[in-house]
Structure 1
Amino acid sequence: MIDSLPELSLLETRILGTLLEKQRTVPDTYPLSLNALQSGCNQKTSRNPVIEAGEAEMLVALDALKDQGLVREVSGGRVSRFEHLLEKALGVPSQASALLAVLMLRGPQTAGELRLNCDRLHRFADISSVEAFLEELASRTEGPLVVLLPRLPGARESRWMHLLSGQASLEAVPAASSAVVGSVEEMDALCARVAALEAEVAELRRLIREGAGQQWHG
């Protein structure tokens, strides 16, 4: 177990998150080759932000992670492969590492979002179990690994953020969250519009039925 918490770059956290994810979603190809790891880091889905890391950048970040005891290069075969050592290095259980992986890959999320997005890595029974592991990660004596961010105006729930890239910058949180708040407002507006359209369709169907009934009686 490492003595002090690391402060990782975006690419380093992306590499760790990708290794954690692929270990559970594609175990047959894990540990990952450099090419597979690069593709996983740069994929367009389930990633926020989306990045385009080159091979040279990947190698530099991997060397830094190896120096910190968070990644190991597996020898053997014609292609070098890499595996994470996060659970052992930080002393966290697999349930907690699944939450950290999703936070590293997708950014701050609510407990409900984390439960949904963690489904392929670990299936939590309910939101309470997610919150229990998050609170455990936040109250570690060795140093917190996650923090609960202040609830934003208009937001229904507070979001959690990992601290492997240093302390949370609360000034940056509203800007990063504006899209989430906006999406909630847009969804409410969309739901209202759908309800109005459904009512209109129902009224049209009623008028058609009445018209057909009058023609039949006539």
Structure 2
Amino acid sequence: MNDPDTLHQSETDETPTEASIPEKTGLLQLTFAEARVLGCLLEKEATTPDYYPLTLNALHSACNQSSNREPVTDLGTDEVEEAMEGLRYKHLAILVHQAGARVAKNKHTLEQVFPSLTVAERALICVLLLRGQQTAGELRQRTERLHPFSDVEATERALHRLCEYEPDPLVKHIPAGGGRRVATYIHLFCGEPEGGMATAPAVRASETVASPTWREEMENQMAGLREEVATLKAEIQSLKDELGA
């Protein structure tokens, strides 16, 4: 099983150098598709490490899965491939060639561009990339399989560090008010939201509860199983394609 925090440098055909890595997040300006692909790579690295790095088919499936995505998309394979090219250009991803494999696989390099990020902070970035603007309570619940936070306060502390990240913030805090009942957070990998302020979705009172219910935990587990099945199916299809079946 691969270690989610280990870069397989021996398997890569290109490695970002210090001189080539952007110094400011403002230079990244990811497209929606690039953000979705990066989020999927971060997610699958943690939740299905046996199948990571991902083939293009597996990455395509991950981008369009119906669970843990907002919005649910129907990106084409060519769009996913183009997004990967964009991420490689921005030094946030690479292709890896593994011994015995005929198909190159896709891997993120977020930790090389932002080496000081903790596992907890990476988990938050992952879920923000995949699901957009969320409350601290939602983020705590939705990062459970990536990194378990002890409580909402711990989640907020990690979010605060991302809001204060140097040289440029990676996350923005949207305070309650102006029709927003609860403070929310958004990622800044695609730049500032239009008008400098995002519109928060309607928040149910239950979303502020610190501990997820047994039903929510069960739903998270089922979503995880569906993700693993989808990834496995995509990998099997890739093998069939390699063998010409």
TM interval, short-chain normalised: 0.7 to 0.9
1:106 aligns with 2:128: no
2:90 paired residue number: 68
Alpha carbons 2:175, 2:182 under 8 Å: kept: no
1:3 aligns with 2:11: no
Alignment partner for residue 54 of structure 1, among 64, 71, 76? 76
2:118 paired residue number: 93
Alignment partner for residue 148 of structure 2, among 123, 126, 129? 123
- Aligned equivalents of 1:150, 1:127: Cα separation in 2: 16
* Cα shift at 1:74: 0.5
Count the aligned residue pairs: 181
Partner-residue secondary structure (3-state), 1:45: coil
What are structure 1's unaligned runs of at least 5 residues?
186-218
- Aligned equivalents of 2:95, 2:72: Cα separation in 1: 25
* Cα shift at 1:2: 2.8
Output the TM-score relative to the length of structure 2.
0.69
- Aligned equivalents of 2:143, 2:86: Cα separation in 1: 27
What are structure 2's unaligned runs of at least 5 residues?
1-20, 207-245
Alignment partner for residue 55 of structure 2, among 25, 33, 38? 33
- Aligned equivalents of 1:71, 1:87: Cα separation in 2: 10
Alignment partner for residue 160 of structure 2, among 131, 135, 144? 135
Aligned AA for 2:136?
A: A
2:183 paired residue number: 158
1:147 paired residue number: 172
* Cα shift at 1:171: 7.2
1:205 paired residue number: none
State the identity as a percent. Answer: 39
Q: 1:74-95 CA deviation, whole Å, 9 max, x = no partner?
A: 0131121111111221221221
- Aligned equivalents of 2:194, 2:175: Cα separation in 1: 11
* Cα shift at 1:173: 3.0
Distance change (3 Å), C-alpha of 1:162 and 1:129: same
Deviates more, 1:77-86 or 1:110-119: 77-86
- Aligned equivalents of 2:196, 2:186: Cα separation in 1: 14
Alpha carbons 1:87, 1:93 under 8 Å: kept: no
Larger radius of gyration: 1
* Cα shift at 1:168: 2.1
Output the TM-score relative to the length of structure 1.
0.77
